[in-house]
Structure 1
Amino acid sequence: ISSFTSSEDLKTHIEGPHKKKKKFPCSYCSSSFTQSGSLKIHIDGVHKKIKKFHCSYCSRSFSLSGSLKLHIEGVHKKIKKFQCSDCPSSFTFSGNLKKHIEGVHEKIKKYKCNYCSSSFTRSGNLKTHIESVHEKIKKYQCTHCSRSFTRSGHLKTHIEGVHEKIKKYSCSKCSSSFTQSGGLKTHIESVHEKIKKFQCSHCSSSFTNSGNLKTHIEGVHEKIKKYQCSYCSSYFTQSGGLKTHIKSVHEKIKKFKCSDCSSSFSQKAHLKIHIETVHEKIKKFQCGSCFSTFAQLGGLQLHHKTHHK
């Protein structure tokens, strides 16, 4: 029986006469094996891709028995034996644990985009980024309409908000609810916080949302009248102006009623003028040539023609 004075001597002894020689080299690669059976398994599984180990739970098959074992434990039995040392997460495969640690804890973004400077912790995220941002591939088709999206999350939000009318984002300050988080954010900023972050480049006006700014620029500065009346040739810069026009001119709707008499008006401004001139007797139009005052501009103009012409 051999005995040794140190662990190094023992290691040298084992690597000498007791070390198993790998006399079965692979003809496809540089690997070598101590047994012919191991060489055969290697060639069948790695080079010939022979999958003789079949899963009894599904139609998958594998070239190595170890791969089949991992598949059954991870996919079918849901055994998560790979525990993360930094958090409670556990995984079925060591590769998934490695990706988790690199991406979540070490923040390693080794998957870099060839089109821009973006980088990602997972290859799947990089693939999604390229397809949606650079290639503009919209592979997620809505089954309710013709819309399609680059991401499954965007499709889900679309279906819930547009077709199912699910309003899961509720305002904590009032009873309003919204289909998207962005809608809730805009609501809080514009209605409750009165934040007007959209500044007009033509004047000092500012607005709570981009839509109102666009309407302002088109109507006030560009004088774009894109709302046409279907009854006549009139055009308006805002939809509200068109609506008021139709109700007052064509439908003759007079919803603004005077509380002092039976008169009614199609516009609120007309009711205000009526109350000031008829009931309150306010004469705010003064003649510049004499001390006469009038309730309406028309009265002042007539006075000028007849007395100061």
Structure 2
Amino acid sequence: MGSSSFTRTEDLKIYIEGPQKKKRKFQCSHCSSYFSQSGTLKRHIEVVHEKIKKYTCSYCSNSFSQSVNLKTHIESVHERIKKYTCSYCSSSFAFSGNLKKHIEGVHEKIKKYQCSHCSSSFSQSGNLKKHIEGVHEKIKKYTCSFCSSSFSQSGNLKTHIETIHEKIKKYQCSFCCSSFTNSGNLKTHIENVHEKIKKYQCSTCSSSFSQSGNLKMHIESVHEKIKKYQCSTCSNSFTNSLQLKTHIESVHEKIKKYQCSTCCSSFSQSGNLKTHIEVVHEKIKKYQCSHCSNSFTNSGKLKMHIESVHERIKKYQCSTCSSSFSQSGNLKMHIESVHEKIKKYQCSTCSSSFSQSGNLKKHIETVHEKIKKFTCTYCSSFFTQKSNLKTHIETVHEKIKKFQCGSCFSTFSKLIGLQMHYKTHHQ
């Protein structure tokens, strides 16, 4: 009956369980298995029930229950023989089972291992196990030997050690010389720096950002005004950690790490150094007044100009008299010079002193240096002060006589002329 054929599955079943079962006269005492030969039964008991591993590898300490398993071990581990090649790609494997898993997981995308806790599915049982342990059971069995950090997967531990402790930057940017510890940081760098991608849009305003973290900080600091970073030295709080760090370094620690390359000035913030270079060395006046042609080096000076010159706002009131000023500095000078009579600007040539540096400068130019920088447009006369030039033009060229006698109708161009007239004719 070696070449028997069957028309029905029932006949095949009777054939197998009938005469064939009778031929298998050696039954296992541990389970319900039958064998046709005593030697086969013996091997079954040794391999399955007694777990005897009498085939030892000559390369390592591993041992196996069957010679075929030893052969496979030597070929795959020591000889690196990968005789099972994928028909879809160039991948090859030592075991047929691994090839099958590869085809199902990579090419056929079969995910037959379903998570019982969520909707996730996987192509391999090992990946499902890792998912359950890491995500649902929160098992972190891989501990870092450098610190107390622990991870659910060995790959995450390896990445942690390389990036945090060994500082390995194996991800190289193809556009510049920058390198990064992980692929995520490299991707973020390319999108931010080279591609200028700003995919995170603020729902309140038109601002957009390349990173979700920057969008979050923008919303908290600009729109929600959240200041969760508290200074431990004073009562100030800030919207982000960078502002707090800058505050501590500049205000409390007095650290000025930004040095001007042109002069010896140093600053606690890079922005202040930039402003210093533009204002002092480059003389850049990028803040243009919308009312006139004046321009200024910073927005504060432009604001003061508009308030004092165009809007005539004088919000700084003197507490001693009714005088008011558009700038706090002018109020301070007024109090010191008019009320306190403070003359802190001393002339180095004579004993004269002045309440303002501008007055000291005028004194030196007119009295000691005899500088006559104000020229008359009608004649060749020069004057040390602008007021003297004005008086000259009014009296000599325009013949303006603004001093009138109160007793008669006589007028004079100078006050001294009026005084002489009064003494001569009316006293």
TM-score (structure 1 length as normaliser): 0.70
Cα distance, 1:252 vs structure 2: 6.5
Aligned length: 284
Question: 2: CA distance between counterparts of 1:26 and 1:85?
Answer: 40
Question: 2: CA distance between counterparts of 1:65 and 1:186?
Answer: 53
The one of 195, 207, 210 equivalent to 1:179 is 210
Cα distance, 1:45 vs structure 2: 0.7
Q: Does 1:132 align with 2:163?
A: yes
Q: Does 1:149 align with 2:180?
A: yes
The one of 92, 102, 126 equivalent to 2:133 is 102
Q: Which amino acid aligns with 1:157?
A: T
Q: Which amino acid aligns with 2:42?
A: K
Question: 2: CA distance between counterparts of 1:81 and 1:154?
Answer: 33
Cα distance, 1:137 vs structure 2: 1.0
Question: 1: CA distance between counterparts of 2:277 and 2:123?
Answer: 69
The one of 285, 292, 307 equivalent to 1:272 is 307
Question: 2: CA distance between counterparts of 1:97 and 1:195?
Answer: 42
**Where do residues 249-268 of structure 1 align in structure 2 (5 Å cutoff)?**
250=283, 255-256=288-289, 266=296, 267=301, 268=303
Gaps of 5+ in 2: 1-17, 19-26, 47-52, 58-62, 343-427
The one of 13, 17, 22 equivalent to 2:43 is 22
Contact 1:148 1:155 in 2 (8 A): yes
Q: Does 1:112 align with 2:143?
A: yes
Q: Does 1:83 align with 2:103?
A: no
RMSD of aligned residue pairs (Cα, Å) = 4.2
Question: For residues 241 and 85 of structure 1, do their structure 2 counterparts lie closer, same or farther at Cα, with a shift above 3 Å needed?
Answer: closer
Cα distance, 1:227 vs structure 2: 6.7
Tell me, what secondary structure is at the counterpart of 1:22?
A: helix
Question: 1: CA distance between counterparts of 2:31 and 2:221?
Answer: 82
Question: For residues 271 and 163 of structure 1, do their structure 2 counterparts lie closer, same or farther at Cα, with a shift above 3 Å needed?
Answer: same
**Where do residues 1-309 of structure 1 align in structure 2 (5 Å cutoff)?**
14=32, 20-22=41-43, 26-28=54-56, 31-33=64-66, 39=67, 41-49=68-76, 50-201=81-232, 203-217=234-248, 222=254, 224=256, 226=258, 228=260, 239=271, 243=275, 246=278, 250=283, 255-256=288-289, 266=296, 267=301, 268-274=303-309, 279=312, 284-285=317-318, 287=320, 293=323, 296-297=330-331, 298=333, 301-303=336-338
Question: For residues 199 and 274 of structure 1, do their structure 2 counterparts lie closer, same or farther at Cα, with a shift above 3 Å needed?
Answer: farther
Measured against aligned partners, the alpha-carbon deviations of 1:165-210 in whole angstroms (never above 9, x if no partner) come to: 1111111221111111221121111111112233445543333234
Question: For residues 95 and 253 of structure 1, do their structure 2 counterparts lie closer, same or farther at Cα, with a shift above 3 Å needed?
Answer: closer
Question: For residues 42 and 161 of structure 1, do their structure 2 counterparts lie closer, same or farther at Cα, with a shift above 3 Å needed?
Answer: same
TM-score (structure 2 length as normaliser): 0.53
Question: For residues 256 and 218 of structure 1, do their structure 2 counterparts lie closer, same or farther at Cα, with a shift above 3 Å needed?
Answer: farther
Q: Which amino acid aligns with 1:110?
A: K
Tell me, what secondary structure is at the counterpart of 2:174?
A: coil
Measured against aligned partners, the alpha-carbon deviations of 1:49-96 in whole angstroms (never above 9, x if no partner) come to: 354444433444444444444443344333333333333333332322
Contact 2:75 2:94 in 1 (8 A): no
* Structure with larger Rg: 2
1:4 aligns with none
Question: 1: CA distance between counterparts of 2:167 and 2:124?
Answer: 33
Question: For residues 253 and 109 of structure 1, do their structure 2 counterparts lie closer, same or farther at Cα, with a shift above 3 Å needed?
Answer: closer
Question: 1: CA distance between counterparts of 2:87 and 2:316?
Answer: 97
Gaps of 5+ in 1: 2-8, 34-38
Question: For residues 293 and 69 of structure 1, do their structure 2 counterparts lie closer, same or farther at Cα, with a shift above 3 Å needed?
Answer: closer
Question: For residues 206 and 83 of structure 1, do their structure 2 counterparts lie closer, same or farther at Cα, with a shift above 3 Å needed?
Answer: closer
Measured against aligned partners, the alpha-carbon deviations of 1:230-275 in whole angstroms (never above 9, x if no partner) come to: 6x887766646964895699456773466xxx79574222443446
